[in-house]
Amino acid sequence: MSENLKFAVIGGGSWATAIAKMLCVNLSEIAWYMRNDAAIEHIQKYKHNPNYLSSVEFDTNKLKLTNNINEAIEYADYVIFAIPSAFLDAELKNMTVSLADKIIFSAIKGIVPETSLIVGEHFHIQYDIPYYNIGVITGPCHAEEVALERLSYLTIACGDPDKARNVAKTLSGNYIKAKISDDIIGTEYAAMLKNIYAIAAGIAHGLGYGDNFQSVMMSNGIREMKKFIRKVHKMKRNINDSAYLGDLLVTGYSVFSRNRMFGNMIGKGYTVKSAMMEMSMVAEGYYATKSAYKLNQGYGAKTPIIDAVYAILYEGKDAKSVFKKLTESLD
């Protein structure tokens, strides 16, 4: 790891806070962009993010906090985006500096609604960033457990292994282990799809299905994920690796999973709007469901779980009836 490398974090949520915490362990300074002026002032004064992972204490001497996305990007060699995919396009419209000489890593688990692209593809197509300068930070890892300093694992994917290693080393620490991968597209699609299956797990729980059924659904989920990703980007990968199966399991079962929480409320009878208002957080899987469903109209993979979640969230179909039918298609 080189102290000469400069990193910026874009976002003010839980993942951005967790990544800033990890970076501060190994770097003497990082730039951190967030829109919320009150949050910036609070961190500067009290050393905590008031809205997310408030137990994390920062050495503010290491933080270049700014509400100007251009300042953060100009500062850095490596720019890590960690904002909800639904808001990425709007944030990037505020950008006036070039990304041409930057290395972009995405910690975003979703699809950009405006283009129906995963984040890496969005940067490549919309901003002409070469794939060797684009990477993905994925799990299995919950930001909340990073805050608690519980042992966690990251997968860092990039077409350039040296850049992947730089990020892996910079994020690693006593309770963070990071490995690298060359499957940029596959790991990013997996990070998006697992949120849909976590919503399905939550719906099942809300409807009263038990652990026996959910184990069957998760088993079908990883096979469904494999079929989908193979259609999108065919290459040699082991779908049972932590970046795929591990991330699916932690998101589907963890009490920290906002997608599972969202699904649980839907299963209990909440409307989509009321569930979102109650959570006051973004469930990436909601947006991912529509994008994955629409994409698969062209790919033609067999995806009964995605289809079921789409029918409930976007077609207004009764969750109980949809899941009763879904149980007949699983094995």
Query: Can you give the chain as a three-state secondary structure string?
Result: CCCCCCEEEECCCHHHHHHHHHHHHHCCCEEEECCCHHHHHHHHHHCCCCCCCCCCCCCHHHEEEECCHHHHHHHCCEEEECCCHHHHHHHHCCCCCCCCCCEEEECCCCEECCCCEEHHHHHHHHHCCCHHHEEEEECCCCHHHHHCCCCEEEEEEECCHHHHHHHHHHHCECCEEEEEECCHHHHHHHHHHHHHHHHHHHHHHHHCCCHHHHHHHHHHHHHHHHHHHHHHCCCCCCCCCHHHHHHHHHHHHCCCCHHHHHHHHHHCCCCHHHHHHHHCCCCHHHHHHHHHHHHHHHHCCCCHHHHHHHHHHHCCCCHHHHHHHHHHHCC
259 known ligand binder: yes
Note if 194 is an active site residue: yes
109 known ligand binder: yes
User: C-alpha angle with apex 272: 90 to 35, nearest 5 degrees?
Assistant: 25
State how far the Cα of 41 lies from the Cα of 57, in Å rounded to an integer.
14
143 known ligand binder: yes
Q: Are 239 and 226 in contact (CB under 8 A)?
A: yes
Active-site residue (options: 21, 102, 194, 226): 194
258 known ligand binder: yes
116: left (phi over 0), alpha (psi -120 to 50) or beta: left
Positions at the binding site for substrate: 109, 258-259
Positions at the binding site for NAD(+): 87, 143, 258
Positions at the binding site: 87, 109, 143, 258-259
Q: Which residues are catalytic?
A: 194
